[in-house]
Structure 1
Amino acid sequence: MRADEGERKELYNYQQKDIDAIFAKLEGKPDNYHLLYQLPTGGGKTVIFSEIARRYLQDYKRKVLVLTHRIELSKQTSQMLTGFGVKNTIIDSGVKELPYDNDFDCYVAMVETLNNRLKDKKFKMDYIGLVIVDEAHYNSFRKLFAYFKNSLILGVTATPLSSNIELPMHETYDDLIVGEPIRALIDKGYLSEAVMYGYDVELTSLKIGINGDYTVGSSDELYSRLAMQDLLLQSYLQRSSGKKTLIFNNGINTSLYVYETFRAAGLPVKHLDNRTPEMERRKILSWFRKTPDAILTSVSILTTGFDEPTVETIILNRATRSLTLYFQMIGRGSRRLPEKKTFEVIDLGNNARRFGLWSDPIDWHYIFKNPEQFLENIRTDAEIESQYTYTMPDELREKFSKTADISFDMEEEFRLMAEQKQKPKMVIEKSIRQHAFMCIENTESIPEARKLARELDGDIEFRVKEYAKLLSKTTKNYREWLIEDYKNRLSTLIGRIFYKYQEDGEDGIIELKKL
């Protein structure tokens, strides 16, 4: 299959600089030299290696092979190469033979297909001078390298961290070139700025599988719960209502629950996973592109090879311990448009607290050389949980503008109650009273006050978790019961004291606080 159309892209200054650095590194190197190049998602890796292929053919007069792991990437790559004037063909399952004297300068091949052809000796490719490996952090490419011992190999990736800890990338590649960082690409106007919102999610029920990431089963169990579905829907309505949104999940069951939850809310949503038939998948993606407020919930399908610049919100409805996946998911929203300088990221998996913000600086050279140490130092969920401090969002704080002090030091209040020989539950009573007064002071009716109380869920859950820690031994079920009981009692207390407040004004409030 040959691409017959393509578009030549103009190279940005940083892209040209990196291309020059790559050729300077390759100059004079022996055959079988392996070089790795890192550039963030959205930085234009395909553009860069298409220009590298063109320039290599021109300067070295030897053929080029580009390896990909998905058919969509093969088609996109072939089209881009054509745009750069590189005469290429795709080696897919339909290509059974490749004559030695064929007419192409460059080949784009799926890993498994090419491996089968070379293993069966259907192809002979000893004339290849440069092998370019797209998404090089995947380990499926390694088995092909034995066939190209007389070729230079250039791996390209956004995250130079192997998908298999047993096969670190520094054992495969001799050197690493690091491209422009995310922060610089944002500041120079090449990528959109991520506005990130995090929610405290208790992940202690998640299990880690043999691949080092959370298992699908434990993720499905957690994220399919009604409370998590409600958190997802409310965070979308609060942060992203009416915006084109991608939701990433860890399990198909979770994604289907998301689909039903959003559909029941009357929102324009569709579900996509790796079992979706090709024709239906195309229709869904076409719908997503054309629909301004479309919501697409997905599993393991849109992290690579998918480019839709109009995406305005990314929702991480999952936790991951994979740095690569973290960057891939957020990167789907980072494409810059004239009218799109920012995009939202809603994090429901404590991922930013595990890895840092998407645009934070990262020492890729350290990670490349010391992957074991990096992975060992990833913060555990227990550490994240213990260090979490709730901060009321500014827009919510404005709704409590008539309340001067909304803080509540659970540890200090617990200590005071102990000194006064009061029961620990009195701390919770005091917290509920403070929340009740906050709601009443800032509204004019009981329904309004109770509605405002429902927006305190984050603060309530944080306070209850802090209280539970001070009790030392509590079960998860007990903590969940405490949260639910707190909300019920808050609603009841609002009704009980509202009329007293309206009748006595500020003096009444002072008196009630002494009760």
Structure 2
Amino acid sequence: MPETQFELQEKKTDKELYSYQQGAINQIFEKFDNERDDYHLLYQLPTGGGKTVIFSEIVRQYLKNHSKKVLVMTHRVELCNQTSKMLTSFGVVNKVVDSKANLDDHERYSCYVAMVETLNNRLNDGILDISDVGLVIIDEAHYNSFTKLFKFFENSFILGVTATPLSSNKDLPMNRNYDELIPGESIENLIKNDFLARAETYQYDMGLTSLEVGSNGDYTVKSSSDLYTSPSMLNKLLEAYTTHSKGKKTLIFNNGIETSIQVYHTFNSAGLPIMHLDNTATKKQRKHILKWFHETPDAILTSVSILTTGFDEPTIDTIILNRATKSLTLYYQMIGRGSRVLNNKSKFTVIDLGNNIYRFGPWGADLDWEAIFKSPNFYIDRIKDDEAIESTFKHELAEDIRSEFSKSKETYLDINAIYKEATFSGESSKVVLEKSIEQHAYICIENSEDVYDALALAKLLKEDIDNRIQVYGKCISKSTYNFISWLKLDYQKKLNAYLRENFDAVFEQIHGHPPED
């Protein structure tokens, strides 16, 4: 009898299932067999663990043993097409329901793959009959956009799959829409068994208190752009790349198109092979850029969030987080892009320029996903805010600047400690800045032959001055942008004046003789 599209093709898939994947499939089918028909089950597995492989095999087995149909939902068109191809490789004939799809023949198919917004429109218009759908699979289930479609599937078994079962919206926890979570293999176990590469991380202490949080709970593009497009931040990014990853294939994540474009110009001016990609690129441009990225061994790609899901490039050696985020999901998605194993690749580099590792802990840390699923707010409320993170920082001079002060044993000054001491002694808080200026002047004079050398060195202390003023502003609980800006300018003027007035006396105190004329 000739094969129809409704039937399942019996062919051997080229995807071999690993033991942990088969174990997950067995657990999930146990729920199919023992729970009610409209049960909502959530399955967690890290990025790179093969979620699509697992649910494609589930679809194959389900259609073989059940008379009802299957619907797979995704939130992006790229994921829609990738999922369709994976299902086909498992012998599952499927129909992609996109904006251009002709649904006149939809009854001939046993499996649909649809993007959430398109499906919502089709269902609200009554164009697609889903009355015989017994299983609904939701990829990247942590996105809240899927929940509006649950009303159409009140009699279906829903299986959500995600790497991070934590809703981005505090008011819409995942335990409200799912009855149970099955946690999959941990990142650490996947690394130990050579399924994922290990991350070597380099984190920089970043001053992020100028960032603002928007209505979505994450840092705004505007405040991120203001910070990360500054010359000092662009130079820090370039320095971090040069120090830890020069010549390696690198993917840079930014918060905002303007930041990514500035990153492109900075690296391009340094003669480095870089391209920029954001969601305004055409399909042709995107294809060209990703082909270049794949084929160029030392390629650098600066991007804006669009490569966090549905993008698989195992040749990536380095992930740079040139942004801060309050989203645990986004944090794991970004780093996960570098975790794919390939040939002899057993490790990759992560450079964090957003205090994200301080905020969430190391990628691959042993998170209790069941506890997070059951009590998400308890976890969210325990995430450190920026002030708490930065209060532990010890801002040292950058290595290249520190080398200019080689005669000084110590260049660091603990502003918090001096403020507490002044307060305890009943002194004015201005004493803190006076002592700071004296210490800065001392190390400038210690490494100079004359006052002009000292004034030149003082210019190199701009970033250190900025850090000290930021800490001082928090100490006195007065940190408006205008006030802090004025303090920084005033500090630099007073430091220069102090050097001119006291150079000879301090020089003699240090060296035991006055400076030579």
Q: CA deviation at 1:241?
A: 1.5
Identity of aligned residues (%): 53
Work out the CA distance in 1 between the residues paired with 2:225 and 2:12: 41
TM-superposition CA deviations, 1:396-420 (whole Å, max 9, x none): 999999987676545556778999x
Q: CA deviation at 1:509?
A: 5.9
* Aligned 1:5-84 pairs, distance under 5 A: 8-84=14-90
Counterpart secondary structure, 1:349 = coil
Work out the CA distance in 2 between the residues paired with 1:242 and 1:116: 47
Is the CA contact (8 Å cut-off) linking 2:39 and 2:179 kept in structure 1?
yes
Q: Which position in structure 2 is the counterpart of 1:340?
A: 345
Q: Which position in structure 2 is the counterpart of 1:497?
A: none
The code of the aligned residue for 1:310 comes to T
Work out the CA distance in 2 between the residues paired with 1:36 and 1:331: 20
Q: Which position in structure 2 is the counterpart of 1:352?
A: 357
Counterpart secondary structure, 1:387 = coil
* Aligned 1:21-420 pairs, distance under 5 A: 21-99=27-105, 101-102=107-108, 104-390=109-395, 408-410=413-415
Q: CA deviation at 1:511?
A: 8.0
Q: Which position in structure 2 is the counterpart of 1:446?
A: none
Work out the CA distance in 1 between the residues paired with 2:61 and 2:513: 81
Work out the CA distance in 1 between the residues paired with 2:157 and 2:132: 12
Instruction: Specify whether residues 432 and 406 from structure 1 end up closer, same or farther in structure 2 by C-alpha distance, changes over 3 A only.
Output: closer
Work out the CA distance in 2 between the residues paired with 1:399 and 1:343: 33
Is the CA contact (8 Å cut-off) linking 1:247 and 1:295 kept in structure 2?
yes
TM-superposition CA deviations, 1:369-400 (whole Å, max 9, x none): 22233333332222222233347899999999
Is the CA contact (8 Å cut-off) linking 2:199 and 2:349 kept in structure 1?
yes
Is the CA contact (8 Å cut-off) linking 1:88 and 1:105 kept in structure 2?
yes
Instruction: Specify whether residues 509 and 479 from structure 1 end up closer, same or farther in structure 2 by C-alpha distance, changes over 3 A only.
Output: farther
Counterpart secondary structure, 2:71 = strand
Instruction: Specify whether residues 219 and 405 from structure 1 end up closer, same or farther in structure 2 by C-alpha distance, changes over 3 A only.
Output: closer
Work out the CA distance in 2 between the residues paired with 1:394 and 1:180: 41
Instruction: Specify whether residues 181 and 462 from structure 1 end up closer, same or farther in structure 2 by C-alpha distance, changes over 3 A only.
Output: farther
Work out the CA distance in 1 between the residues paired with 2:64 and 2:495: 74
TM-superposition CA deviations, 1:242-274 (whole Å, max 9, x none): 211111111112112212222222221111111
Work out the CA distance in 2 between the residues paired with 1:398 and 1:224: 26
* Aligned 1:388-467 pairs, distance under 5 A: 388-390=393-395, 408-410=413-415, 424-425=432-433, 427-429=435-437, 431-432=439-440, 462=467, 465-466=470-471
The code of the aligned residue for 2:268 comes to R
RMSD: 4.2
Instruction: Specify whether residues 508 and 111 from structure 1 end up closer, same or farther in structure 2 by C-alpha distance, changes over 3 A only.
Output: closer
Work out the CA distance in 2 between the residues paired with 1:392 and 1:59: 66
Unaligned runs of 5+ in 1: 441-448, 495-506
Q: CA deviation at 1:48?
A: 1.1
Is the CA contact (8 Å cut-off) linking 1:34 and 1:175 kept in structure 2?
yes
Instruction: Specify whether residues 395 and 39 from structure 1 end up closer, same or farther in structure 2 by C-alpha distance, changes over 3 A only.
Output: farther
Work out the CA distance in 2 between the residues paired with 1:319 and 1:65: 36
Q: CA deviation at 1:106?
A: 2.0
Is the CA contact (8 Å cut-off) linking 1:435 and 1:490 kept in structure 2?
no
The code of the aligned residue for 1:228 comes to M
Work out the CA distance in 1 between the residues paired with 2:155 and 2:384: 42
Work out the CA distance in 2 between the residues paired with 1:80 and 1:438: 67
Is the CA contact (8 Å cut-off) linking 1:205 and 1:218 kept in structure 2?
yes
TM-superposition CA deviations, 1:294-349 (whole Å, max 9, x none): 11111131111111111111121222111111111111111122332222222222
Instruction: Specify whether residues 308 and 482 from structure 1 end up closer, same or farther in structure 2 by C-alpha distance, changes over 3 A only.
Output: farther
TM-superposition CA deviations, 1:135-180 (whole Å, max 9, x none): 1111222222222223211000011122333322111111100111
The code of the aligned residue for 1:23 comes to F
Is the CA contact (8 Å cut-off) linking 2:437 and 2:494 kept in structure 1?
no
Instruction: Specify whether residues 394 and 508 from structure 1 end up closer, same or farther in structure 2 by C-alpha distance, changes over 3 A only.
Output: closer
Q: CA deviation at 1:460?
A: 6.5
Is the CA contact (8 Å cut-off) linking 1:196 and 1:346 kept in structure 2?
yes
Work out the CA distance in 2 between the residues paired with 1:438 and 1:281: 54
Work out the CA distance in 2 between the residues paired with 1:199 and 1:470: 22
Counterpart secondary structure, 2:391 = helix
- Of 37-46 and 111-120, deviating more is 111-120
Instruction: Specify whether residues 380 and 409 from structure 1 end up closer, same or farther in structure 2 by C-alpha distance, changes over 3 A only.
Output: closer
Is the CA contact (8 Å cut-off) linking 2:437 and 2:495 kept in structure 1?
no
Q: CA deviation at 1:463?
A: 5.0
Work out the CA distance in 2 between the residues paired with 1:407 and 1:84: 61
Counterpart secondary structure, 2:15 = coil
Instruction: Specify whether residues 108 and 343 from structure 1 end up closer, same or farther in structure 2 by C-alpha distance, changes over 3 A only.
Output: same
The code of the aligned residue for 1:259 comes to Y
Instruction: Specify whether residues 37 and 474 from structure 1 end up closer, same or farther in structure 2 by C-alpha distance, changes over 3 A only.
Output: closer
TM-superposition CA deviations, 1:13-35 (whole Å, max 9, x none): 22122221111222222211110
Is the CA contact (8 Å cut-off) linking 2:205 and 2:355 kept in structure 1?
yes
Counterpart secondary structure, 2:275 = strand
Is the CA contact (8 Å cut-off) linking 1:245 and 1:295 kept in structure 2?
yes
The code of the aligned residue for 1:323 comes to L
Counterpart secondary structure, 1:238 = helix
Counterpart secondary structure, 2:170 = coil
Work out the CA distance in 1 between the residues paired with 2:142 and 2:456: 48
The code of the aligned residue for 1:368 comes to F
The code of the aligned residue for 1:277 comes to T
